[in-house]
Amino acid sequence: MESKNSPTVRRGAAELVVIVAGVLLALAADRWIESLDARGLESEYLAQLIEDVAADSAAFAMEIAGRQRRIEWNARLQVALAGESPVPTDAAAFLVSMNYYSAWVPYQNRRETWNELVATGRLILIRDRSLRQRLGQYYSEADRAMFGFEQMDRELADIKAVIEQVLEPETRLAMFGSPDRRTDVTQAEVAAVLDRIRADRALRSGFVSAEERHRNIVREYEQALVSAGSLLKLLRADASQHQL
């Protein structure tokens, strides 16, 4: 004989099952929504990283070209110092180039997105573990290169200070004043500066040493360009998978 409490028990059990199922469904829905949000954030960060690394690539290529022009300029300077070529016709441009030959501010990677990912713990949003590791390697390499660049920059700055001592105050004022004032620089002043550099063995040696540092800078940026290019391919490949 069925107990009078059996219907009540069955209803209670059924209600409990419905409640538990509802809770589980709600949790599953929350996880699904969170997953969608996470994938959306991942896509956004990937797009930002692609933009950053693409900007790095363009900047590295520009720096390489700029360093190569400095090296070529140094070669022309050595010929002029040896007396094997006439004094440059554009006196002001020549002296400006001489002064800026040793003035250099290295390019720093665009890393706002990377810094945010690390600081907020959101790096885990990048699901591809190998890609996360490659990103870390890329920015670590940039930090190490920057340390070396800063050392070279200090050495170049020392040469720049000597160059400025060689130039007459009036010549420096004409060089770095308005474009109209730069026309005040004469061929005779350029010849006088070259003569003073010829007579300063340490300064001439400094230009030779600076050329090797510029070549080192070019090699560093060439490696950085290759690294940025390979990382960019990985980022774009991962981003394209999100769009499928």
Count Cβ atoms below 10 Å from residue 202 Cβ, excluding itself. Answer: 8
The string of pLDDT tens digits covering residues 29-76 is 445 444 545 678 888 889 999 999 999 999 999 989 988 988 888 888
Integer Cα distance of 134 and 172 in angstroms? 47
Reduced to 3 states, what is the DSSP secondary structure of residue 70? helix
228, with CB counted inside 10 A (0-12, 13-18, 19+), is buried
Residues 171-223 have pLDDT tens digits of 777 777 777 767 777 888 888 888 888 888 887 888 888 888 888 888 988 99
Say if pTM beats, i.e. exceeds, 0.85: no
Question: How confident is the model over 20-28, as a mean pLDDT?
Answer: 53
